Structure 1
Amino acid sequence: MSMLWQSQGFFSCGTICSRVQTSDGMEYALKDCWVAEDKKNHEVTILKMVEGIPNVVKLVAHWNVLYDGEPDCTYHIRASHGVCTSGFIRRFHQHLLLTPCGEPLVLYSSKLELLRAFHDFVSAYSLMLTSHVLHRDLSPNNFIIHDGQGYFIDFDHARMIAEGTVSVPSEGMGMALYVNSSSPGGYCKGCKDPTHSK
């Protein structure tokens, strides 16, 4: 029906999100993305871990886009042109069908709706932590509003956390790690890992 969001650059992200509708009028968000081979099932796994948490987008279905009966992959493009170097990262073409399909956070209709949405985000974030999931990419692009409620979306950079572990830098885009310069050595807040110092 319409494009909701499009990343800049094919090989860095290559993601397009669209609003789609079934024949009976149900609306969904369709995420069309290219995922590195080592993270092929990452977002699906995380979405299953947070399933049932209020104010978190729900995974309805996911599938590989096929090319000549095989999962579509950037390797097909490179191989057909005879250009495959040792450092080449294979990316697989995937579709994720999600609900609800809301509006970007910046399109809130009133201050009250925005405040309610932030309340929803804080509550959902707390529940995600109890499910051992850290979102790690808190930006206006990763929140939507649907029927007056706020929802988390985009779990590309989310991590499963376990007690006693420390955070690690995220590859690619994502929220920069918070640094507490007043702590000893300027370590990341909470993790005390000197490799994360400013």
Structure 2
Amino acid sequence: MTYAASDFTVHSDDTISRPTADTLDKLWAALDGHQYLRVRFPKKVIENECLRLVAARRTQATGLEHRQPEPEELIHCLTIGPPLFVARSDSESKRATHVYRVVVEEDLDNNAPLRVYALKDVWHEIGRREEVDFYDLVARHCVENGIDMEKAGMARCHGNLNLARPGPHLVTDWDLASHGTAKRHHTRILLSPVGRPIHEFPSTKKLVEAFHAAVIHLKIAYDAGVLHRDVSANNVLLVEDPSSNIPGFLVDYDCAEMTENGVKLFNAWFNTRTPASWKESNKSLLDRTGTFPFMAIERIEAKQRRVTADHSSEGAVDSDADIAHPNDYLAC
């Protein structure tokens, strides 16, 4: 799927536009440090498909996961190539979830090396906790326990923007009402690293290393009080940058829930956000969710028996409610 200037998204979303010719020239020049992208996407492709999307980024690169409030500023993300992922959530194409490979336009004039991000554009279901809360809870746990997320290759959140309710500190120039419905809010979350599908693995060794990294990330998340609950072939990725030493990583906390300890930690560390409730989390944990081919067999067979899972088990992967076994990865 490509997104040229005539694409419907440009015309139906007032937070998406086309970059100027000058900006496109700067973008192409800045990609000189990312030869793998230059080889993959010729200049003409980038010029034809590049979109400019409003997003938000925390005002410092690191360390903000444990500060309140987290200061953010509006930015403009420039897409490189077609979307990395598209998943339709309903019949209306504008409600599709998109993940783009992007750089930040405001960084083009800096002398620092250009950073490539993944921008997830999703219509988030009202009533479910926003994905950023799970990313930040895991990040705060890593800060508190001396875990280097960069070295571990873990997915990190660098900014989150609810386009329907952007917050009083952000000056907006778009129609807020058009980005919200009675059931969903339009949200963009800025993430790193940028991934590519697990089925593109170059060797069996690299595939096993990616799965091993994902299991480690699951364990760290569990120790932080987060159950991922939707590990599948789409949510364990290889790192796109061929120069990276990171074998793979776990993404997508859309279906995640907090453990009882996670609820306590979240409310203590993020007391300016919507409080977490163990009663609500526990209720949600009793529901089956996830991607069917990757679910634990016991979980599927227990559907009719209404068996209560032991979410407090020390077996972090085994307790990840809906993909219980590391053996499930072998089905990928």
Class of the TM-score when normalised by the shorter of the 2 chains: 0.7 to 0.9
The alpha-carbon deviation at position 67 of structure 1 amounts to 7.2
Distance in 2 (alpha carbons) for counterparts of 1:187 and 1:64: 36
For 1:38, the equivalent position in structure 2 comes to 127
Which structure's residues are more often strand, by fraction? Answer: 1
The alpha-carbon deviation at position 131 of structure 1 amounts to 0.9
The alpha-carbon deviation at position 189 of structure 1 amounts to 7.6
Equivalent in 141, 155, 158 of residue 234 of structure 2: 141
Distance in 1 (alpha carbons) for counterparts of 2:126 and 2:115: 32
- Secondary structure of 1:155's counterpart equals coil
Q: Which moved more, 1:125-134 or 1:151-160?
A: 125-134
2:159 maps to 1:70: no
Structure 1 regions of 5+ residues with no counterpart? 76-88, 193-198
Asked if the contact 2:117/2:194 (under 8 Å) is kept, the reply is: yes
2:287 partner letter: P
Report how many residues are paired: 175
Structure number with larger C-alpha Rg: 2
For 1:81, the equivalent position in structure 2 comes to none
Query: How do 1:28-177 residues align onto structure 2 when only pairs under 5 Å count?
Result: 28-39=117-128, 41-51=129-139, 52=142, 53=149, 54-65=152-163, 68-70=174-176, 72-75=178-181, 89-146=182-239, 147=244, 148-162=246-260, 167-170=285-288, 174-176=290-292
Distance in 2 (alpha carbons) for counterparts of 1:157 and 1:151: 17
Calculate the aligned-residue CA RMSD, in Å.
3.0
**Percent identity, aligned pairs only?**
23
For 1:6, the equivalent position in structure 2 comes to 86
Asked if the contact 2:124/2:130 (under 8 Å) is kept, the reply is: no
Q: Relative contact order (C-alpha < 8 Å, sep 6+): which is higher?
A: 1
Structure 2 regions of 5+ residues with no counterpart? 1-79, 143-148, 164-171, 262-277, 312-332
Report the TM-score when normalising by structure 2: 0.46
2:103 maps to 1:21: yes
The alpha-carbon deviation at position 149 of structure 1 amounts to 1.8
Q: Which moved more, 1:46-55 or 1:28-37?
A: 46-55
The alpha-carbon deviation at position 71 of structure 1 amounts to 5.9
Report the TM-score when normalising by structure 1: 0.74
